[in-house]
Structure 1
Amino acid sequence: MRIYPFMQPCQSSSVWTTIVFLLTGNLVLAQEVTIYPNESEEESPLLDEIVVSASPDPGSQLGLGQYSPHAVRVVETETLRRNATGTLGETLGWEPGVSSSYFTPGASRPVIRGFEGYRVRMLRDDLDTFDLSDISPDHGVALEPFLLESVEIHRGPAALLYGNSAVGGAVNARSRSIARIMPKRVATGALEQRFDSVSSGYESAGYMTLKAGEFLFQLTGSHREAEDIRIPGNAWSDDYEMLERPSVWVPGTGGASGQVVPLENPSGRLPHSFHDSSTWSAGFSWIPENLPLVLGVSYSRFDSRYGMPYIYPGDPTDFFGEYDLDISQDRFDFEGSMDFDQGFVSKLQARLGYGAYRHSEYFIGRGKDEGSEFVDSYFEKDAFEGRIDMHHRGFNDAWTGVIGFSARHEDFTAVRTIYPPPDPVTTDTFLRSDNYGLHALEQFEGGEWTFRLGHRLEYVEVLDHSMESFGFLRGEKDHSSATSGSVTWARENFIELDRLALTGTVSLTERQPSAIERYAFWNNAGIGRFLIGGDLDGTPLANEESLGFEIGVEASRGPVGFRLNAYHYDYENFIFMQEDPAATGGFGKAVRYIGRAATFTGFETELDWKIHEEDGKVLKLTLMSDYVRGTNEDEGQPIPRMPPLRFGSRLEWQDERFTVGLEIRHATGQDRVKPEPRAELPTDAYTMVNMDASWNIPVRDHQLTLFLRATNLLNEEARLSTSFRKDVAPLPGRGLSAGLRYEF
């Protein structure tokens, strides 16, 4: 294979809208080495770019190193194909330190080290996903996992370059919306079809690249139709049914005024857990033969509709029914990058993005409210983001770094129905946010020592225009900063080890509350609560400040590699949602954003062992474990929805044609929950056993792959402690998915 050092395509996408190319482009935290297929006829034409996750680190152009505990974790294409589900949260849910905010098969978001929402930035090609998954976990991420090339999970100093809010980290999905490599053939691509038994679901996906000289056209598309999922037992947990006793008032029965009737706990299938979605994109890029330049533009469309299983509102006379969530997004991306062989500047990268997101929550009446259908809540989000980054080098490449500027603007509208048809009354909330940031990450290597220092200065202004027509405009604006530094010592052939690396990191971060955390005031169907902003009691939320410490160890000897990270975060004002029974005066349930002193302590570890490797045949074992303990120090109570202690393993056999894997995943029970008045119930332990197999069949110079994946073979009832809906929405039961992929 041949490496082109100066024609490294940009690995992220941006957006354009007006020709205001805002020199706010975006930064690529990754200096990824792109390896192009050899033009020999003996090579497969389908060799997509391969990200080499050795030094320099694939997640930051600063060469953090393969063995650094802060190297960005890259989930490669093959792993995504094996684990891909309808949501990114479930797809990544068993990566070390990463869990999921599972609501249904249609809504799930990654949770990193117990952090969710605003503290985990969701990105597509280094720009925001421009959806509403950060304001509520029942809002799906506007991404199709089957169409991703890879996913980067960023932690440590490099994550600050994506924003002061990325305390937990950043999840950067690499899409195929723009072609960034020059293929050998005029047309290359892949088609995939799969069936999933647990939801009787069909999924189709594909992408194709067309070459015309120096120009590339990229097309992608996918479609999914999935019915209600099968579950091992009952939909509602025993504790939930005993505590809530779901019931409904039925008029005209048991007397003149009617009577309250207990609801039956669904069994065997989870009602209203269907998921339908489709997405497509069209991109155009220019990769001149004699210039180290890549320019690209794309348009993408995302549509998703999924059901939200019933959750008892707490009042039998309230509306009885379920919710459908309907999501659509139009997105434009523009990106450009240029590499420089000599001089202080090694690369310039710029990105610009625009997303128009629409989200409706439909109430669909059942029983006594049969025929009553209306939009309970409607959301709009129009957002721009742009970044520009300069990667540099100096002192014989011992000093490397990136300096950049980013800007983001967002208009958010929420329309809430107070009285439904036939005499509807609604209220509107209109919020505007502006964010500007300067960021830098510098690294110096000297012998066995590597020093890194990252800093970001951010200006944020949020305004609530909801009552502007009455002469009332409120808002907050302020600066915040975040600094993170680390030191790594690494030595080859240390005692009995081939390599040992030790890293210590200290971070001091400050985050300003978002407009939603300050001014939210609407019903949230997904969490079954009325959502109230922290500023609405007259006392504005203070900035969130945290001091973090982390130590990391990585070691290898022969076929065995080991990694361990242990961390502690101390928050002066941690902002989160907590049950507030008094907020609605006793009518319905509500949660309010509050700020409390909090601590988070945890670890994540992983061991890889190539048990056997000979003549292209490999038997390998992977073990992982992670845990985090979050505590509200002001009140001496657990932070809600924390992941439990988990253990996972995968045994895999692979040769040139076949891959067979066995996974065992165990999550312990989570009984660290807030005491009375109890808003969160304990979660039982569960063990998942999965198996998968794939068979690659060469067809001339193309490739056909047959694959099978069996999940939850023990048919365990499993509920995620990180989910608001764990007590009414268990994970799917035993299932089998089978598919066929053709690459040409």
Structure 2
Amino acid sequence: MSLSAHHPSRSLLWRLSPLSAALLIATQAHAVELPQQVITANPLGSTELAAPTTVVEGDSLTLAQKGSLGETLNNQPGVSSSYFGPGASRPVIRGLDGDRIRILRNGVGALDASSLSYDHAVPLDPVNVERIEIVRGPAALLYGGNAIGGVINSFDNRIPTEAIEGIHGAGELRYGGADTTRSSAGKLEAGNGTFALHLDANSRQFNDLKIPGYARSRHAPESEDGNGKKGRLGNSDGRQDGGAIGGSYTWDDGYAGLSYSNYDSNYGSPAEQDVRIRMKQDHYAFASELRNLQGPFSSLKFNAGYTDYEHREIEGGETGTTFKNKGYEARVEARHLPIGPLEGVVGAQFNRNEFSALGEEAFVPKTDTNSGALFILEELQATDRLKLSLGGRLEHTVVDPDGKGNERFAQADKSSSFTAGSLSSGAVYTLTPVWSLAATLGYTERAPTFYELYANGAHVATGTYEVGNAKLSKEKAVSSDLALRFDNGVHKGSVGVFYSHFSNYIGLLGTGRTLNDEGEEDLSGHPEYTYSGVRARFTGIEAQDRWTLGENAYGKFALELSGDYTRAKNLDNGQDLPRIAPLRLNSGLLWELDRWQARLDVQHAASQGRVPDNESGTDGYTTLGASAGYRFDIGSSQWLAFVKGENLTNQTVRYASSILRDIAPAAGRSVEVGLRTTF
């Protein structure tokens, strides 16, 4: 946990996350201790979830932390990054990105524009996050069609969910890295056992990223700026600032609380050397839970959030486009009393967002989107060894555009409505005390978003021309997972395969044409990308193992191994889909002795040649990383001083999952130092 001074008790775990997928919160684990069993934190209190899940917290989150969410999670199994330089990146799960991945805060969505375009950052600094849950595979049943590819759920305790006694706090300082990060953050929590208060603040500044050689690859088109400055990724510097205040009233059978948070950033777009993005977001949240109720429902949980988001794309010092997004999300969940062998939850969710893009360079029209949904999840312990789950969701969405008379948005002349349904089933079968099988099968539908329907114009920050299709129908997929899990005290991990078949996959696909700002073919213009519905297939494999090597006079040792591979095919033309990460293999050797801890990491990514005919592939790479930390106490406070190095052999790294792979490589050799305290 990056800035954690408070841990929930194990008996209260399920209270913390509304039907979210995954985890056991433990006290902060040391570097080499075998992690505890990941369980679901949903209100049903299951001990294991059928869907593949990952939890990042404690020292692992501290050492993985970057300035963006996508880069922080980039090396988790099945998760890659949409990398747009150090200022912006979103997580990509199994090749699915954008509005197929739901990013949540404490179980509720916070509106932004990050799914609209790769240059739009997620307005969240991971330094404020205590833990992150990752659900790989469809989670639309719980959180809507926009979770057809998975969920990223972060927790920050800005609304304390249980009583706090006294004063607790945390702080962190960082310096270094390939972008010369200067970061500071702090948190304070106080309470008298009934009322609880939370305060946090953070600030981060970073320079242009250091890279090996020149930014542009041999596949990159010619640029008026030439190859740029050797050893630096131009216009990739920026800053991020944020803070929050929250409080709650707690009692034996529940809590209720409010919070306010602010995020403000300014960063450059490596795609265009004179374009910068200025972003700000205000977010208000409410959360409450009532437990031990009498009647048909034993507990009720409420979550709601309102967001006011704006960012401006500034070209040559002048604002070209201003994006605004205002709206709310609210959900209620009710756990019913057991009905025979069945335990379950029913719920409802409501969303509204008002999006507008203002300015001559706006490429999407003003649009209001409203949706409402009902869902149910039931669980059955069929036998001592077999646990089953089954659920459904019905969601209705209305997308109402207003082209404001702009000829480019002639398609945006009437509203569109979609009714999407999802069904999901899961099973966990215990073979032996060591081995178990987990399987899921689901059908999910997703309504197309306003930009997939109505986009039409040049997007200067990404250097592309994007075209939507108002005739798009719902995205539909049948997906399944099968995993073999093991835990014998020495080895803990899993090997799994997944399969998804889309009868209508809405992809942002390159056409091979280049268009000028007026939409006319021009060899010196922007590459055209269209939102197109095609049949598609995603398949892959994921594996991970944590091997406790043993303990002797020289310390405790462990080895972490993981790998993932995804294939994605456009079944309409037989070509591969774009921006899919290649085969990736990770290994980490961990050591701990008394107050010292260290690890050595080797990461390998194969070359990616499975790309559409009109796109370029990427070369493979192998990187070396290392980190070390020392724990010490000063009075009643606990401290961790650490140093970490990444890409120590200074390899050129280009992510196949990035639309900027040919003009924006990842960081070169870097060393960062940090100091963290909790009290």
Normalising by structure 1, what TM-score?
0.84
Contact 2:15 2:41 in 1 (8 A): no
The corresponding residue for 1:636 is 574
Is 1:557 equivalent to 2:488 in the alignment? yes
Pick the aligned partner of 2:299 from 338, 344, 347: 347
> 1:61 is aligned with what amino acid?
P
TM-superposed deviation, 1:324: 0.4
Residues 111 and 5 of structure 1, relative CA distance in 2, 3 Å threshold: closer
Once residues 463 and 444 of structure 1 are traced to their aligned partners in structure 2, the CA distance between those partners, rounded to angstroms, is: 41
Letter in 2 for 1:239: H
Aligned residue in 2 for 1:489: 429
Inter-CA distance 403–733: structure 2 relative to 1 (3 Å threshold): same
Check the 8 A contact 2:456/2:466 in 1, yes or no.
yes
CA contact (8 A) 1:377 1:523 kept: no
Shift of 1:603: 1.1
Q: Which moved more, 1:436-445 or 1:172-181?
A: 172-181
Match of 2:16 among 11, 19, 37: 11
Which residue of 591, 596, 605 corresponds with 2:529?
591
2:549 counterpart residue number: 611
In the alignment, structure 1 residue 61 sits paired with structure 2 residue 43? yes
Identity of aligned residues (%): 30
- Offset, 1:154: 1.7
Cα deviation, residue 60, structure 1: 2.7
Question: How far 1:726 sits from its partner (Å)?
Answer: 1.0
Cα distance, 1:488 vs structure 2: 2.3
**Match in the other structure for 2:630:** 695
Q: CA separation in 1, counterparts of 2:616 and 2:290?
A: 53
Distance 1:403 1:712 in 2: 48
Distance in 2, matches of 1:333 and 1:718, equals 39
SS state of the match for residue 146, structure 1? helix
Query: SS state of the match for residue 114, structure 1?
Result: coil
- 8 Å contact from structure 1 (residues 61, 391) kept in 2: yes
Equivalent residue number for residue 277 of structure 1: 240
- Structure 2 counterpart of 1:388: 332
Report the residue type matching 1:385 in the other structure. E
Q: Does the 8 Å CA contact 2:178/2:667 hold for their aligned counterparts?
A: yes
Partner Cα separation in structure 2 for residue 649 and residue 164 of structure 1: 34
| CA 1:151–1:487: 2 relative to 1, 3 Å | same
Question: Does structure 1 conserve the Cα–Cα contact (< 8 Å) formed by 2:164 and 2:194?
Answer: no
Could you give the per-residue CA deviations for residues 349-400 of structure 1, whole angstroms, max 9, x where no partner exists?
A: 1011000000111112xxxxxxxx321221000010000001235268x532
- Whether the aligned pair in 2 keeps the contact of 1:69 and 1:564 (CA below 8 Å) is no
| CA distance 1:30–1:586, shift in 2 (3 Å) | closer
Deviations 1:585-627 (A, max 9, x none): 2042221111111111111110111011479953111100101
Please tell me whether the aligned partners of residues 363 and 466 of structure 2 are also in contact (alpha carbons under 8 angstroms).
no
Which residue, 134, 148, 155 being the options, matches 1:153?
Answer: 134
- Cα distance change of structure 1 residues 391 and 72 upon mapping to structure 2, 3 Å threshold: farther
Taking a change above 3 Å as real, the CA distance of residues 742 and 202 of structure 1, as seen in their structure-2 partners, is same
Aligned counterparts, 1:227-242, within 5 A? 227-240=207-220
Per the alignment, residue 447 of structure 2 pairs with 512
Tell me the residue number matched to 1:367.
none
1:2–1:209 Cα change, 3 Å: closer
Q: Check if 1:87 corresponds to 2:68.
A: yes
Q: Deviations over 1:472-512 (max 9, x none)?
A: 841111211011112221133xxxxx421112322111111
Question: Which residue does the alignment assign to 1:452?
Answer: 389
Q: Confirm or deny: 8 A CA contact 2:103 2:153 kept in the other structure.
A: yes
Residue 245 (structure 1) aligns with: 222
**Aligned-partner residue type, residue 245 of structure 1:** E
CA change 1:191–1:605 in 2 (3 A) is: same
Whether 1:219 and 2:199 are equivalent positions in the alignment is yes
Structure 2 residue matching 1:208: 3-state secondary structure: strand
Aligned AA for 2:47? G
Aligned equivalent of 2:596: 658
Query: What are the equivalent positions in structure 2 for 1:721-736 lying under 5 Å apart?
Result: 721-736=656-671
- CA distance in 2 between counterparts of 1:103 and 1:598 reads 26
Instruction: Give the whole-Å Cα distance in 2 for the aligned partners of 1:694 and 1:6.
Output: 31
Distance 2:404 2:74 in 1: 41
Aligned residue type for 2:510: E
Cα contact 1:209–1:216 (8 A) shared by 2: yes
Q: 687-696 or 71-80, which moves further after superposition?
A: 71-80
Paired AA for residue 195 in structure 2:
F
Tell me how far 1:636 sits from its aligned partner: 1.1
- Which consecutive residues of structure 1, in runs of 5 or more, have no partner in the other structure? 13-26, 38-43, 249-262, 312-320, 365-372, 419-425, 493-497
Residue 427 (structure 1) shift:
8.4
Query: For the structure 1 residues 393 and 708, does the alpha-carbon distance in structure 2 shift closer, same or farther, using more than 3 Å as the test?
Result: farther
Corresponding residue for 1:133?
Answer: 114
The range that moved more, 145-154 or 444-453, is 444-453
Name which of 370, 377, 396 aligns with 2:321.
377
Cα deviation digits, residues 649-705 of structure 1 (max 9, x gap): 111112441210111111001111111xx2x21101011111111111011221121
One-letter code aligned to 2:246: G
Name the amino acid aligned to 2:229. Answer: P
Tell me which of 309, 315, 319 is aligned to 2:270: 309
| CA contact 2:172–2:186 (8 Å) conserved in 1 | yes
Residues of 1 paired with 2:587 and 2:284: CA distance?
40
Which SS does the other structure have where 2:415 is aligned? Answer: strand
1:181-208 CA distances to partner (integer Å, 9 max, x unpaired)?
Answer: 33342x2101111101422221001100
Show the counterpart of 1:24: none
Distance (whole Å) between structure 1 residues aligned to residue 23 and residue 116 of structure 2: 32
Q: Distance in 1 between matches of 2:47 and 2:578?
A: 36
Q: 1:71: how far off?
A: 5.2
Alpha-carbon distance, 1:430 to partner: 0.9
Alignment-derived partner of residue 352 in structure 2: 409
Residue of structure 1 equivalent to 2:176: 196
Letter of the 1:273 counterpart = S
Letter in 1 for 2:387: T
Aligned residues: 659
Residue 414 (structure 2) pairs with residue 437 (structure 1): no
Deviation at 1:715, TM superposition (A): 0.5
Q: In the alignment, residue 80 of structure 1 is paired with which amino acid?
A: L
User: 1:577 offset after TM fit, Å?
Assistant: 0.9
CA RMSD of aligned residues (A): 2.7
The reply to whether residue 544 of structure 1 matches residue 475 of structure 2 is: yes
Give the drift of 1:284: 1.2
- CA–CA distance in structure 1, aligned partners of residues 333 and 624 of structure 2: 44
Cα deviations by residue, 1:168-191 (Å, 9 ceiling, x for unpaired): 101001123223333342x21011
Equivalent residue of 2:145, what SS? coil
The offset of 1:246, in angstroms, is 2.0
3-state DSSP class of the match of 2:451? helix
User: Who wins on radius of gyration, i.e. which is larger?
Assistant: 1
Q: Closer, same or farther in 2 for the Cα pair 1:691/1:34, shift >3 Å?
A: closer
CA 1:293–1:656 in 2, change beyond 3 Å: closer, same or farther?
farther
Instruction: Quote the residue 2:563 is aligned against.
Output: 625
**How far does residue 10 in structure 1 lie from its aligned partner after superposition?**
4.7
The answer to whether the Cα contact below 8 Å between 1:236 and 1:266 also exists between their aligned partners in 2 is: no
User: Following the alignment from structure 1 to structure 2, what is the Cα–Cα distance between the partners of residues 2 and 596?
Assistant: 46
Decide whether aligned partners of structure 1 residues 64 and 168 sit closer, same or farther in structure 2, where only a CA change above 3 A counts.
farther
CA distance in 1, matches of 2:12, 2:678: 25
Q: Is 1:450–1:489's contact at 8 Å kept on the other side of the alignment? A: yes
CA contact (8 A) 2:20 2:153 kept: no
Report the equivalent of 1:480: 420
3-state SS, counterpart of residue 287 of structure 1: strand
Among 601, 606, 612, the residue aligned to 1:674: 612
Q: Deviations over 1:37-91 (max 9, x none)?
A: 9xxxxxx9x99xxxx9647x2343345534x552532111321111100001000
In the TM superposition, residue 573 of structure 1 has moved relative to its aligned partner by 1.0
TM-score (normalised: structure 2): 0.91
Change (3 A) 1:113 1:190: same
157 and 113 in structure 1: CA distance in 2 versus 1, 3 angstrom threshold: closer
Equivalence for 2:100 = 119
